[in-house]
Amino acid sequence: MVYKIKIPHKYLSVLGGLLIFMVLSAIQVFGFLMVYLASNLQNDGKNYTIGDLNAFLIPGAFANAISVGLSAKLQTYISEKLYCVIVMTLLCLSWFALSLSSGFVYYAIFLGFMIPFFEGMLYLLPIYNLQKHFSQQQGLIGGILFLGFGIGNFVWNPLLFSLINPENIESIEDPQTGENYFPKEVTDNLQSAFTIFALILFMTGIIGSLLIKTKKQEDSEQNFDIQQVNDEINKARLSSLDPNYDQKQQKNQALTFKELIQIFKKLPQIKLTIIYACAISFGFMMTYDYKSYGLKHINDDKFYVYVANVIAIANGGSRVFWGFLYDKIGFRILAISNLIIQLVLIILLPIVVTNKALFLTVIFFIFWTFSGWAIITPLTCSSMYGIIQGKQIFGIMYMSQVLPALIAFTFVKFIGWEILFFLYAIIVVIGLIFSLFSTYQVFPNSDAIQLKDEDQDKKNTKRSLTKKLNNQSFIIENQQQQNNQDGNLQNIKVIQNIEIEMKRKQSIIEDFDSI
């Protein structure tokens, strides 16, 4: 006898989200690849430096941020699964395109626009998909989802190193620029490396996309007929029973452009945006430049595979950690703690950069704090505005990553790394000040916390509904007795109507149990 194991859809979605985020983590290999790409251009006789390639950060940051906001709208037109398959295919084709040619402009098109754009198109979907499945454990589940980032980095960086520089050939310092570049025997491997890499990403991403199934889809398959009959009546009844129902319903509707502008004019949202922009600035820059900065002090290419693995562990583990804390203590205390740690690390990095063990340790904690914002901020936005509107708000906030890109590209050539770190320290202090003097506090699952007495209100509402239900049961018994006596067809219709009403109220009570 064959037994079929049925895995709940929400756990399949977790696995699908992990695989999708493994693919999305490939964007973080830019920092690992940047030196190879600059070396390839140098070997082709094109005098482009690593600093020149940092120019990709600016259009890439814009493309990524714009697509995150755009995705919130586009996802409403087709199923999430189909959306994932289409965008994932376009993303992997963009990676594959890197194997077909080279050149500064060509790299700029795909690394500076196409790949960041399609990455942003996929970024929010798994997060909010799982928020629907696990509404009471958003922080923890979001953190588990982001393990895909860590697992991906743990796999991709060693894979690329084994494909591009398997013999660990050392880089050579350019006396004119002071930057380190690899010889042609290393960069000749780039074409085949990108082909294999794109194929692996595609297989991983398509499997992940096919596993995605939203709670809305699941419910609609099971309850379509019932929902069609009762939806409007239940909405009207809930609106009368719960004074906050209309506000909650509004949170489930997308915001117009004018409404978005109005939200970003409000002081709490301004503070949150500034805190987020300051908090991600240093970590975002280090994502792309940790290797080019480190090679000036530690010239060992294989060592940066270990650095990348450490970053992978930090990326994955930290999001579970910060997500768990978010569920427990909320936003404000978490933000203050995170920014204080960042400030200490920025001061330490230039001091320990020549020591491999200390460099690894500091880099680990830089990404441990930086990666936390990838889970803290989306959850905060959904707590403040609801899942749908929160997705839109975070999509706009995500554009603030342009700030560190502009700073890194504009100043590093002129002021050097140490003074650049000082500028980032000032930015972090600004974020810390806004966190310290913020008078608002954002908690997870705000729909259940906006009113402290709301849980008690729900209990009272449920008690009232149950009482009415019992009263109607008594009415039905009386009507049935009367019907048995005179066989009146009108009484039969009355009973039927009351039974329908009872079912509706029972459904409402069950809804309150599930909130």
> What's the structural domain count of the chain?
2
Instruction: Provide the b/e sequence for 477-503 (b: ≥16 CB within 10 Å).
Output: eebeeebeeeeeeebeebbeeeeeebe
Indicate the SS3 state at residue 180: strand
Cβ 62 vs Cβ 112: under 8 Å: no
Indicate the SS3 state at residue 173: strand
Task: Verify that 50 and 198 share a domain, yes or no.
Answer: yes
Of 416, 446, 476, the one marking the end of a domain is 446
Residue at 12: amino acid letter: L
The values of phi and psi at residue 416, to 5°, are 85, 170
Task: Verify that 353 and 281 share a domain, yes or no.
Answer: yes
Q: Which two tokens stand for residue 56?
A: 């990709």
Cβ 179 vs Cβ 416: under 8 Å: no
pLDDT of 452 higher than 50: no
227 lies in some domain: no
More confident residue, 444 or 493: 493
The values of phi and psi at residue 180, to 5°, are -105, 135
Report how far residue 3's alpha carbon sits from residue 25's, in angstroms, rounded to the nearest whole number.
Answer: 37
Cβ 119 vs Cβ 247: under 8 Å: no
Residue 338 confidence (pLDDT): 94
**DSSP class of residue 169?**
P
Give the pLDDT band of residue 12 (cuts 50, 70, 90): confident
Residue at 27: amino acid letter: I
The values of phi and psi at residue 450, to 5°, are -55, -40
**DSSP class of residue 25?**
G
Residue 439 confidence (pLDDT): 53
Task: Verify that 322 and 349 share a domain, yes or no.
Answer: yes
pLDDT digits (tens, 9 = 90+) for 167-205: 888 888 777 766 778 889 998 999 999 999 999 999 999
Residue 215 confidence (pLDDT): 67
Please, how many CA atoms are within 13 Å of residue 369, restricted to the half-sphere of its CB? 27
290 lies in some domain: yes
Q: Looking up tokens 């039905």, which residue turns up? A: 476
249 lies in some domain: no
Query: How many other CB atoms are there within 10 angstroms of residue 436's CB atom?
Result: 12
Residue 265 confidence (pLDDT): 85
The Cα angle at residue 4 between residues 3 and 9, in degrees rounded to 5? 155
Report how far residue 386's alpha carbon sits from residue 394's, in angstroms, rounded to the nearest whole number.
Answer: 11
Task: Verify that 363 and 405 share a domain, yes or no.
Answer: yes
Cβ 367 vs Cβ 318: under 8 Å: yes
Task: Verify that 472 and 337 share a domain, yes or no.
Answer: no
242 lies in some domain: no
374 lies in some domain: yes
223 lies in some domain: no
Give just the sign of the alpha carbon dihedral 88, 90, 91, 97: positive
Nearest Cα residue to 427 out of 269, 263, 283: 283
More confident residue, 191 or 68: 191
Nearest Cα residue to 63 out of 401, 379, 290, 389: 401
Q: Which two tokens stand for residue 379?
A: 């959850």
Over residues 283-302, the mean pLDDT reads 82
Task: Verify that 386 and 468 share a domain, yes or no.
Answer: no
pLDDT of 515 higher than 50: no
pLDDT digits (tens, 9 = 90+) for 340-395: 999 999 999 999 999 999 999 999 999 999 988 888 888 888 878 877 777 778 87
CATH number at residue 35: 1.20.1250.20
Over residues 284-313, the mean pLDDT reads 83
Task: Verify that 430 and 458 share a domain, yes or no.
Answer: no
Task: Verify that 269 and 324 share a domain, yes or no.
Answer: yes
Q: Residues in the chain, how many?
A: 515
Is this structure's pTM higher than 0.75? no
Of 446, 473, 506, the one marking the end of a domain is 446
Q: Which two tokens stand for residue 221?
A: 């398959």
Report how far residue 412's alpha carbon sits from residue 431's, in angstroms, rounded to the nearest whole number.
Answer: 22
Task: Verify that 25 and 155 share a domain, yes or no.
Answer: yes
Report how far residue 477's alpha carbon sits from residue 268's, in angstroms, rounded to the nearest whole number.
Answer: 55
pLDDT digits (tens, 9 = 90+) for 394-407: 877 877 766 665 66
Cβ 307 vs Cβ 294: under 8 Å: yes
pLDDT of 226 higher than 50: no
Query: How many other CB atoms are there within 10 angstroms of residue 243's CB atom?
Result: 11
Report how far residue 146's alpha carbon sits from residue 318's, in angstroms, rounded to the nearest whole number.
Answer: 9
Task: Verify that 428 and 500 share a domain, yes or no.
Answer: no
Residue 480 confidence (pLDDT): 54
Residue 267 confidence (pLDDT): 84
Cβ neighbours for 216, distance < 8 A, ≥ 6 positions apart:
132
More confident residue, 135 or 273: 273
Task: Verify that 386 and 321 share a domain, yes or no.
Answer: yes
Task: Verify that 273 and 387 share a domain, yes or no.
Answer: yes
Over residues 8-31, the mean pLDDT reads 82
Report how far residue 498's alpha carbon sits from residue 472's, in angstroms, rounded to the nearest whole number.
Answer: 7
Of 404, 421, 446, the one marking the end of a domain is 446
Give the pLDDT band of residue 53 (cuts 50, 70, 90): confident
Report how far residue 32's alpha carbon sits from residue 291's, in angstroms, rounded to the nearest whole number.
Answer: 6
Report how far residue 145's alpha carbon sits from residue 14's, in angstroms, rounded to the nearest whole number.
Answer: 7
pLDDT of 508 higher than 50: no
Cβ 254 vs Cβ 71: under 8 Å: no
Residue at 147: amino acid letter: L
**DSSP class of residue 360?**
H
228 lies in some domain: no
Between 97-101, 115-119, 159-163, 469-473, the lowest mean confidence (pLDDT) is in: 469-473
Residue 451 confidence (pLDDT): 31
275 lies in some domain: yes
DSSP states along 423-483: HHHHHHHHHHHHHHT------SSGGGTSSTTHHHHHHHHHHHHHHHHHHHHHHHHHHHHHH
Report how far residue 96's alpha carbon sits from residue 191's, in angstroms, rounded to the nearest whole number.
Answer: 9
Report how far residue 171's alpha carbon sits from residue 181's, in angstroms, rounded to the nearest whole number.
Answer: 5
Show the domain range for 466: 452-515
